[in-house]
Structure 1
Amino acid sequence: MHSTPSTAQAARSLLSPYAAQPLLAIRDVYKTYSLKRGQTLRAVDGVSFTVMPGEVLGLVGESGCGKSTLGRCLLRLNDVSAGQIIFDGQDITHLPERILRPLRQQMQMVFQDSYASLNPRRRIGDLLAEPLRVHRTQDEHRHTSAAIVHRLEELMELVSLPRAALERYPHEFSGGQRQRINIARALVLSPRLVVADEPVSALDVSVQAQIVNLFADLQKQLVLTYVFIAHDLAVVRQISTRVAVMYLGVIVELGQTDAVLHNPAHPYTIALTQAVPRPVVGAPRHVLLRGDIPSPVNKPAGCRFHTRCPAVQARCQSEAPILTQINPDHAVACHYPVLK
C-alpha cells in the first residue's frame, strides 16, 4: 500500500532545509519486483528527499535496505514503479530514452565493483573516450581527436594517475586505481550529479581513505553534487553534507550530518553510530540489535524496525511512523524518538 496523502505531504515538507531549487528531487518513489508465487518485493517503499546543487547526500543503511536500488532509480537505470524523479526542475520519471539521453550527460554513476565496470578487452583511453564520441553536442570542437586526447589527459591528472595509464588495460591496475579510472569516466562529460554506489566498500581500508579524499577534493574543485551510498558511517561522516538513513525500503532519519550522527534520534541510527569502532579507552560499548533483519518480502506491520527495537511499544507494532521534523535540519520517522 502506498503512502497516504498526509504521509506524502509530510515527507515533501522535509525534502530539504534549503530554499533554492533542488538539482534532484524524488517524491514518493516506489520500486517493486514481482516474484514467484505472487509475492511482491518492495525494495523502495515511498521515499522522498531532495539534493541541492553542490550538496553531498550520504545514503546509509545495511545491505538489502534498498539503497543501491534507489541509486539506480535516481538515474533511470531502473524505472520506478510509482512516484516522481525530478532533475533540475524537469520530471524525468517517464521520459522516453531518446529525450532522456541528452540529460544522461549531466547524471553519472560510479559503481561498487571497479573491475566489472570496465571492459577488460579495451584500453583505458578507449573506455574514457567513448562517452565523448557517443554524446556528441553542438560543440564539435569538443570531439576532435586533439580535444579528446586533451580531455583524457586532464582526467588522468584530476584522479592522480599517469598519462601512460590511458594505454593500459583494466587488469594492469589495482582496485583503487581502477576506481580512480571509473571516477574519471563518470566525470568525462562534466556531469552535475554523480551517484556513487558504495564506491569504496570493496577496497582495503587504507585505499578507502584515499578514494574518499579524492571524491571530496573533486566535489570542491568541480562543484559537483553527490548522492553517496555507503554502509560505513565513518565514510559518510567524512564526505556528506546531509545524511539519509534507510531501513527496509524507507527513510527513517534525515538531516544535516552533524545532527544525525552526533545526536541520532531513531533507535536504528543510534545502533549504527554506536557500532562504529571507538579507539578511546572506556568508550561505551555499542548496543546489539536483537534478531535479524526481517524479510523485505514480508515486512513487519507498523514500524519496520519494531522487531529489533530495544524501546518498542504497542503503538509501534500497528502504526507506521511518518518522517517528522524535530528541528529545522533534522527529521525522524519514530513514534518515540530519542531527543536531546
Structure 2
Amino acid sequence: MTGSPSSPADQSSADPVAQTAHGPSGHANAKTMLRPTDTATAPLLSVRDLSKTYDLPRGQSLKAVDGISLDVMPGEVLGLVGESGCGKSTLGRCLLRLTDATSGQILFEGQDITRLSERALRPLRQRMQMVFQDSYASLNPRRRIGDLLAEPLKVHPGPDGRKRTPAVITGRLHDLMELVSLPVTALDRYPHEFSGGQRQRINIARALALSPRLVVADEPVSALDVSVQAQIVNLFADLQAQLGLTYVFVAHDLAVVRQISTRVAVMYLGAIVEIGETDDVLHHPAHPYTAALTQAVPRPEVGALRHPPLRGDIPSPVARPSGCRFHTRCPAVEDRCRTEEPTLQPVRSGHDVACHFPLAAN
C-alpha cells in the first residue's frame, strides 16, 4: 500500500537478475541448496494429460490448459514460465484442486486426487498450499493478521489428530513470524498497515502454517518492486532449504525463474513447449519461443541479438492456430508447422521440446 512502512527485509537494493549463489543478505539461492536426490524415485506430484476447458457463450470454448503431463520430484523447484494468458495460473490452481480439471489425472503423494470429494480432499490440504499473486486481495482486510494465520490451525487438527490448544496456536504463530522475518507485534495489526512485500510474507506464513510439502506460488513477486522481489525470492529459497519444501513457482519473469528454479517448463497457449533443467533450457533453448523469451531478459552487455525477438501478439486461446500453436509468431516457420502439431521430444538428456525444427545447441 502506498505510504505503508517497509521492514528492513524489504529494503534491499539488489536486483534479482544479478543474484548469484547468495542474495544481498547472505541467503542461499534455491538452485544451490536443495535438489531432488538420486534416491528420490517417486514424484511428489504427477500430472497426466491434464486439460481445463471453459465454456463460453455462443457455443465457444476456451482451453486454458491443454493435455499437460509432468512430474514434480520431492525437493525441487519447477518454474512455470510464459506470457500472460498462457495458462500458468490455471494449471497451478488445477494442481491443488482449487479449480477442477476438465480431464486428465493428478496424483499427489501417489494418491489420485483428480476427482476426490472436498471432504476426502480436506486432510490433504494440509500438505499442499498456495501463495497467490495479489497479496492484499488474499487477506481479509477486516481481520487481524493473527486471526488470519490462526484460522487453518483451528480448522485442521494437529499431528496427533487432536484439536490444537490456544497455547499451541500462539506458539505456532510466533514461529511463523520468525520464519518470514516479521515481528510478533505484526499479529495484532491489519493488512492495510503493511507494505506489499510484508503482506506477501504474511501470505507465505499462512501457506506454511500447516507444514505443507508442496507449495504452488502463483506469480508471488510480480506486483512488487525489484528490490523487494529479491528479498521475497531469497525468503522462498531459505524456506525451501530449511523446511524441505517442493515448489511449483509460476512466473513470467525469466530472471526470477533463473534465480530460484531447478527445472523450468515453458508454456504457450495452454501447453508445455519446452521443459528441462533451468540452466540448460535458458542457456541452450531448443524452442524458438523459449529463445525469444530469453532474448527479452535485459542484459548489461552490448551486442547483437542471438535470437530474433517475438513478433505479433499471442493468438486467442478461443481460436488456437492449427498445427504448431507458435507458428503464427515463429521466425523459422515451415509448411509442416502450419498443419502438424509437434509433441514433446527429447533433445538432450532431461530436456524435451515440442518443435519440428528445434534450435541447434548454442
What is the TM-score when the length of structure 1 is the normalising length? 0.93
Deviations 1:190-231 (A, max 9, x none): 000000000000001110010000001100110100000000
Q: Which amino acid aligns with 1:237?
A: R
What displacement does 1:313 show? 0.2
Which residue number in structure 2 is paired with residue 88 of structure 1? 109
> Do the aligned partners of 1:61 and 1:67 also contact (CA within 8 Å) in 2?
yes
What displacement does 1:291 show? 1.7
1:235 and 2:256 matched: yes
> What are the within-5 Å matches in structure 2 for residues 69-148 of structure 1?
69-137=90-158, 139=160, 143-148=164-169
Which residue number in structure 1 is paired with residue 177 of structure 2? 156
What displacement does 1:285 show? 7.0
Q: 3-state SS of the aligned residue for 1:143?
A: coil
What displacement does 1:281 show? 2.9
Which residue number in structure 1 is paired with residue 317 of structure 2? 296
* Structure 1 CA distance for aligned equivalents of residues 62 and 110 of structure 2: 30
* Structure 1 CA distance for aligned equivalents of residues 228 and 312 of structure 2: 33
Work out the number of aligned pairs and report it.
325
Q: 3-state SS of the aligned residue for 2:104?
A: strand
Deviations 1:37-81 (A, max 9, x none): 000100001001010000100000000000100000000000000
Query: Which runs of no fewer than 5 residues in structure 2 stay unpaired?
Result: 1-35
What displacement does 1:286 show? 6.0
Deviations 1:166-202 (A, max 9, x none): 0000000000000000000000000000000000000
Relative contact order, higher structure (CA 8 A, sep 6+): 2
> What are the within-5 Å matches in structure 2 for residues 215-234 of structure 1?
215-234=236-255
Q: 3-state SS of the aligned residue for 1:292?
A: coil
> What are the within-5 Å matches in structure 2 for residues 1-340 of structure 1?
20-137=41-158, 139=160, 143-282=164-303, 284=305, 287-340=308-361
Q: 3-state SS of the aligned residue for 2:106?
A: strand
> Do the aligned partners of 1:106 and 1:192 also contact (CA within 8 Å) in 2?
yes
* Structure 1 CA distance for aligned equivalents of residues 107 and 269 of structure 2: 23
* Structure 2 CA distance for aligned equivalents of residues 124 and 254 of structure 1: 38
* Structure 2 CA distance for aligned equivalents of residues 301 and 115 of structure 1: 40
> Do the aligned partners of 2:48 and 2:69 also contact (CA within 8 Å) in 1?
yes
What displacement does 1:287 show? 2.6
What is the TM-score when the length of structure 2 is the normalising length? 0.88
Q: Which amino acid aligns with 1:171?
A: H
The alignment yields a C-alpha RMSD, in angstroms, of 1.5
> Do the aligned partners of 1:142 and 1:148 also contact (CA within 8 Å) in 2?
no
Deviations 1:118-140 (A, max 9, x none): 00010000000000100114626
Deviations 1:152-172 (A, max 9, x none): 111101100001000000000
* Structure 2 CA distance for aligned equivalents of residues 74 and 235 of structure 1: 21
Q: Which amino acid aligns with 2:336?
A: R
Which residue number in structure 1 is paired with residue 17 of structure 2? none
Q: Which amino acid aligns with 1:131?
A: P
Q: 3-state SS of the aligned residue for 1:297?
A: helix
> Do the aligned partners of 2:295 and 2:309 also contact (CA within 8 Å) in 1?
no
* Structure 2 CA distance for aligned equivalents of residues 283 and 295 of structure 1: 31
* Structure 2 CA distance for aligned equivalents of residues 17 and 311 of structure 1: 38
> Do the aligned partners of 2:156 and 2:163 also contact (CA within 8 Å) in 1?
no
Q: 3-state SS of the aligned residue for 1:196?
A: strand
* Structure 1 CA distance for aligned equivalents of residues 152 and 197 of structure 2: 22
* Structure 2 CA distance for aligned equivalents of residues 280 and 236 of structure 1: 20
Which residue number in structure 2 is paired with residue 12 of structure 1? none
Deviation >4 Å, runs of 4+: 16-19
* Structure 2 CA distance for aligned equivalents of residues 184 and 276 of structure 1: 31
Q: Which amino acid aligns with 2:202?
A: I
> Do the aligned partners of 1:176 and 1:203 also contact (CA within 8 Å) in 2?
yes
